[in-house]
Amino acid sequence: MIGILCIFVFRINGKLHLLVATTDGFVYIYPVEAEGGELTLLRQHKIGIKYAPVVHAHNPPDNQNNEDNDGMESEERQALDRHLIDNFPPLNHSTA
């Protein structure tokens, strides 16, 4: 079952927009017309990140040293960072 997680109303270039985030990992953006009426989908973004859970041991096995673990974590972190950059919805910010 899909549920609504968050709803926001915000302005982009002076126009109202409705942002709806759902529990299935999607964000929907609708422009809100001043005269009312039905909303038309403007953009849809997938924001969920799938990953395998990581189990951390207090003491690494004797055949692994910390340098190997740090290198592995760094590669995984870089892959996750690249995934976020490629798939995160674009944001517009205005200071006016």
pTM above 0.75, yes or no: no
Beta partners for 4? 22
The answer to whether position 62 is within a domain reads yes
The answer to whether position 96 is within a domain reads no
Range of the domain at 39: 4-87
Question: Which amino acid belongs to residue 35?
Answer: E
Asked whether residue 1 carries a pLDDT value surpassing 70, the answer given is: no
Asked whether residue 59 carries a pLDDT value surpassing 50, the answer given is: yes
For the chain, the three-class secondary structure string (H helix, E strand, C coil) is: CCCEEEEEEEEECCEEEEEEEECCCEEEEEECCCCCCCCCCCEEEECCCCCCCCCCCCCCCCCCCHHHHHHHHHHHHHHHHHHHHHHCCCCCCCCC
Task: State how far the Cα of 40 lies from the Cα of 93, in Å rounded to an integer.
Answer: 23
The answer to whether position 70 is within a domain reads yes
Would you place residue 94 in the very low, low, confident or very high pLDDT band (cuts 50, 70, 90)?
very low
The answer to whether position 92 is within a domain reads no
The answer to whether position 93 is within a domain reads no
The answer to whether position 19 is within a domain reads yes
